[in-house]
Structure 1
Amino acid sequence: MNNEDLKKAIDFYRSLVQEEIASEKIVDGKPIGPRTLIKKDHLDLNDIINPERSFLGKDVTGDLDSVYVTTFRIGNLKKPMSLAKSGYGTDIIAGIEMGVNLVKTGIIKNFDDISEFLAKYKVGILDIFKEEEIKNGKRLDIRVYECIECAGLPNIGEPICYYETGMIIGILGELTHKEVFAEEIRCWTSGYSFCQFDVEIKD
């Protein structure tokens, strides 16, 4: 994706974000988006083989984007939800290690490289929606559109992008050499068309 396509995608999804947040509900203390809530304890094959990626999928031939996304998801999403979300879990640790290594190897050298990397390898479309100074650090509102982990999945009432959360922690921690905390607060699997991460970089 070139910069112009990235900007179009971000503008398109920002308009959806406003509508979806305006119509969200709070269920058990968690924000839930407008898509129908379907309670499941695991995702089945029919769920994971149908990504919705109109921007990241448009420059590949045939159904290759679905094949690529499904291959990524098969091993990751077939485990029970209770295992995936226990403690920090292996997915978050794996994501942190990947993020750190992307910086250490020089693949990602600065903040601009993050967006280019995620789009090039079709992980997602990055939008640093808001950045603000807070006491002892900085807070970022990061949105990811067309996330490889979850785009097109049903609304199961909670976020599932543990690996991507870890990548954010690893990349930003290694770039800044500061302590980073990240939490996904909205996701395709909580009824939205985007993933939203609340990130703090501590001085």
Structure 2
Amino acid sequence: MKRDELKTAIDYYRTKVKEEMAGEKKINGQFIGPRNPTNKLDLDDLIHPERPFLSKDVENDWDSIYVTTFRFGTLKKPVSMVKCGHGTDLLGGMEFGSQLVQKGFIKSVKDLVPVFAKYKLGILDIFSETDVNNGKKMDIMVYECIDCVGLPNIGEPGCYFESGIITGIFKELTHKEVFAEEVRCWTSGYSFCHFSVEINHDPEGSLESQ
């Protein structure tokens, strides 16, 4: 995607973020979005998701086929998505994120958005960034996420692989302690994924200088 197309997509989804968070609920400590919940997640839910922006530069239905193939390879059985394998997905994502930096795909924070879009992982948006105590707190949104776009609301987030990727990237870039947690997701009723990221670093340090 070109820079102006990414900006258009991010502006569009930021509006949806504000709308959906304004009407959200919190149940048993978990944020729940506006889409109706279901206890069912089966094979039909994984197939042919729509990604309005990431599919624009792909002919025919190839983007949805690509996403479906990715899900078949990573989710194994649909029910396993959020019921087991959390640690494996997280660690796998951390290794992948670390390798993206080590191999030079990502050299700085500025590379995250174009790399995520180029390899169709999703449209990444650093929604907010704040200095806190001895570190930094960031809210990172991922729109049209390859793992979960179009899936039903089953009451909890499911993108442990992406949490791992974000953790691995920032650990490798900053060499600091990083914690990333997904707090909102397609599978908890939203049309975006929201990762709360904490980076602990020296007071003099900054992400831009890494």
TM-score range, shorter chain: over 0.9
Cα contact 2:184–2:195 (8 A) shared by 1? yes
Question: Which residue number in structure 2 is paired with residue 110 of structure 1?
Answer: 108
Q: CA deviation at 1:52?
A: 2.6
Residue 76 of structure 1, CA deviation: 2.3
CA distance in 2, matches of 1:44, 1:137: 41
Question: Paired residue for 1:131?
Answer: 129
Work out the CA distance in 1 between the residues paired with 2:6 and 2:111. 13
The yes-or-no answer on 1:45 pairing with 2:43 is yes
Distance 2:108 2:197 in 1: 17
Q: Is the Cα contact below 8 Å between 1:125 and 1:145 reproduced in 2? A: yes
Gaps of 5+ in 1: none
Matched, 1:91 2:89: yes
| Structure 1 counterpart SS, 2:157 | coil
Unaligned runs of 5+ in 2: 202-210
**AA of the residue aligned to 1:84:** G
166, 181, 186: which is aligned to 2:179? Answer: 181
Q: TM-score, normalised by structure 2?
A: 0.92
Q: Deviations over 1:20-39 (max 9, x none)?
A: 00111111211100001001
- Trace 1:148-167 onto structure 2 (pairs within 5 A): 148-167=146-165
1:67 to 44, 65, 68: 65
Q: Secondary structure at the match of 2:84?
A: helix
Instruction: For 2:83, give the aligned amino acid.
Output: S
Root-mean-square deviation over aligned CA pairs: 1.0
The aligned counterpart of 1:82 is 83
What is aligned with 2:168? 170
Overall identity of the aligned pairs, in %? 60
1:72 and 1:99 map into 2 onto residues whose CA distance is: 17
What letter is aligned with 1:3? R
Contact 1:50/1:153 (<8 A) preserved = no
Residues 44, 75 of structure 1: alpha-carbon distance in 2 compared, 3 angstrom cutoff = farther
How many Å apart are 1:107 and its aligned residue?
1.0
1:37 maps to a residue whose letter is P
In the alignment, the residues of structure 2 paired with residue 64 and residue 157 of structure 1 have an alpha-carbon distance, to the nearest angstrom, of 30
Under a length normalisation based on structure 1, what TM-score does the superposition of the two structures give? 0.95
Query: What residue number does 1:30 align with?
Result: 30
